[in-house]
Amino acid sequence: MTLLPPRVQPGNAQLGLVIDLDTCVGCHACAVNCKEWNTGGHSAPLPDHDPYGADPNGVWFNRIHTFEAGEGTASRTVHFPRSCLHCEDAACVSVCPTGASYKREEDGIVLVNEDACIGCKLCSWACPYGAREYDTDAGVMKKCTLCIDRIYNENLAEEDRVPACVSTCPASARHFGDLNDPDSEVSQLVSERGGKELMPELGYKPVNRYLPPRAAKKEQGPSGVGASLPPLADLAPDGDSRFLRWVDRVLSR
């Protein structure tokens, strides 16, 4: 359905990811595991063109960018995973002429029905986050499915019913849950850590949120900036009197 579902109701889930930029080390594990899962999953395959050639490029639902924020030694290197944000106001859906792109009413997941997609790519133009991945080989648009074939999968153990990228992240930088439920773990994280919406000015109301790097515990000594240990009775810093304090220490093995 190309029309977006009506405004999200309190009871309707808005499933999504919360990505912690404070702990992401940029290892690409989530991206590769996403590819691995999905290339044999609901959207199989995620083809790779010229895989061993001069211009390799493949379909990936999740990609890791690296940014630097700030300048000089005070700058921060931030690894930035980017996949579909399952927007509430997903123009990628409303521009789709065929109804292949749709947002599920029950959980807010934005999907492409490959069998209805004509491969016009308009949805990719409408996505501000560059999250749509065209499969030139099959002539259809593909994208992050939020691992729809895992999160409800009854063949998986309960605790494994999370997206592949979440279960694989070694730094626990990825969290999955219902962002429409204020009590969910992910919503709590967002409110505690000031989770950010990307490009709010575009009005897409992305569901996924990014937890900004925590304020660094930088120069936080016992007495803050410029702290140092008070030297003890150091009248002669290089003379033998330096040792006096240890001479009579009663020690025992």
Partner 1 sequence: MPGDFLNPEERIDLSPEIGDETKTTTCYMCACRCGIKVHLRDGQIRYIEGNKDHPVNKGVLCGKGSAGIMQHYSPARLTKPLKRKGPRGSGEFEEIEWDEALKIVSARLAKIRAEDPRKLAFFTGRDQSQALTGWWASQFGTPNHAAHGGFCSVNMAAAGLYTIGGSFWEFGEPDWERTEYFMMFGVAEDHDSNPIKMGLSTLKERGAKFVSINPVKTGYSAIADEWIGIKPGTDGAFVMALIHELLHADKIDLDYLVRYTNAPWLVIRDPGAADDGLFARGADGEPLCWDNNTGQVADARLAGVAPKVIGEVTLDDGRTAVPAFQLMADRYMDTNYGPEVAALRSGVPAHHIRRIAAELAEAAFDKEIVLDVEWTDWAGRTQDKMIGRPVAMHAMRGISAHSNGFHTCRAIHVLQMLLGTIDVPGGFRFKPPFPRPCPPPQKPAGKPGQVQPDTPLPGPPLGFPTGPEDLLVDADGTAQRIDKAYSWEAPVSAHGLMHMVITNAWKGDPYPIDTLFMFMANMSWNSSMNTSGVIDMLTDRDAETDDYKIPFIVYSDAYWSETVPYADIVLPDTTYLERWDCISLLDRPICSADGPADAIRQPVVQPDRDVRAFQSVMLDLGARLGLPGMTNEDGTPKFPGGYPDYLVNHERAPGIGPLAGWRGEKGDSDGTGAVNPDQLNRYIENGCFWSHEFRENQRYYKHANRDYLEYAAAAGWIGSSDQIVMQLYSEPLQKFRLAAQGHGDIRPPEQHRVRVGGYFDPLPTWYRPLESQDGIEDEYPFYALTQRPMAMYHSWGSQNAWLRQIHTSNRLYMNRNKAELEGLQDDDWVWVISYHSRIKVQIRLMEGTQQDTVWTWNAIGKRSGAWNLDPDAPEAKKGFLLNHVISELLPPKENGYRYSNSDPVTGQAAWYDLRVRIEKAEPGDAADETTFPQFEAQPRRGGHSLRDNILRYGGLFKPKRSKNDGDCQ
Partner 2 sequence: MHPAYSVIFFTTASGAGYGLIFLMALFGALDGVPADPWFGAVGLGLGALLITSGLLSSTAHLGHPERAWRAYSQWKSSWLSREGVLATATYVPLVLTAWGWVIAKSLDGKFAFIAAVLAMMCLLTVHSTGMIYATLRTISAWHNKLTVPGYLCFALLSGAAWFHALAQVFGYQTPEVALVVIIALFLSFYIKRKYWRSIDTQPGPATPESATGLGDLGKVRLLDPPTMTENFVQREMGFSIARKHTHKLRRICFFTYFLIPIVLTGLTSSAQPWLAIPGTLIAAISVSVGVVVERWLFFAEAKHVSMLYYGAETS
237, interface contact from partner 2, partner 1, ligand SF4, none, CB < 5-8 Å by kind:
partner 1
Positions in the binding site for partner 2 (CB under 8 A): 2-4, 21, 31, 55-60, 63-71, 74-78, 80, 82, 91, 94-100, 116-122, 124-130, 132-136, 138-141, 196-204, 210, 212-213
Counting runs of H as helices and runs of E as strands, what totals does the chain give? Answer: 7, 11
- How far is the C-alpha of 1 from the C-alpha of 173, rounded, in Å? 33
| Residue number with CB closer to ligand SF4 (67 or 246) | 67
Burial 124-145 (b: 16+ CB within 10 A, else e): bebbbbebbbbbeebebbbbbb
Shortest separation between residue 181's beta carbon and partner 2, angstroms: 22
Which residues have CB under 8 Å from 103's CB, separation 6+?
1, 4, 5, 86, 90, 93, 109, 110, 111
- Tell me how many degrees the CA angle 163-164-166 measures, rounded to the nearest 5: 70
Q: How far apart are CA 24 and CA 79, in angstroms?
A: 6
Beta-bridged to residue 79, according to DSSP, are 66
Q: What mask, x for binding partner 1 by CB under 8 A, covers residues 135 to 174?
A: --xx---------xx--xxxxx-------x--xxxxxxx-
The footprint of partner 1 on residues 186-225 (CB under 8 A) is 213-214, 216-223, 225
CA distance 207 to 108: 9
Distance CA 142, CA 124 (A): 10
Asked whether position 227 contacts partner 1 by CB under 8 A, the answer is yes
**Residues binding ligand SF4 (CB under 6 A):** 24-30, 34, 37-38, 61-62, 64, 79, 81, 83-87, 90-92, 96, 98, 100-101, 110, 112, 117-123, 127, 129, 131-132, 141, 143-147, 163-165, 169, 171, 173-174, 204, 206
Site string for partner 1, 28-67 (x = CB under 8 A): xx-xxx-xxxxxxxx-xxxxxxxxxxxxxxx-x-----x-
- 215 contacts 56 by C-beta, under 8 angstroms: no
Contact set for partner 1, span 69-108 (CB under 8 A): 70-73, 75-79, 98-100, 102
CB of 219 to partner 2, least distance (A): 17
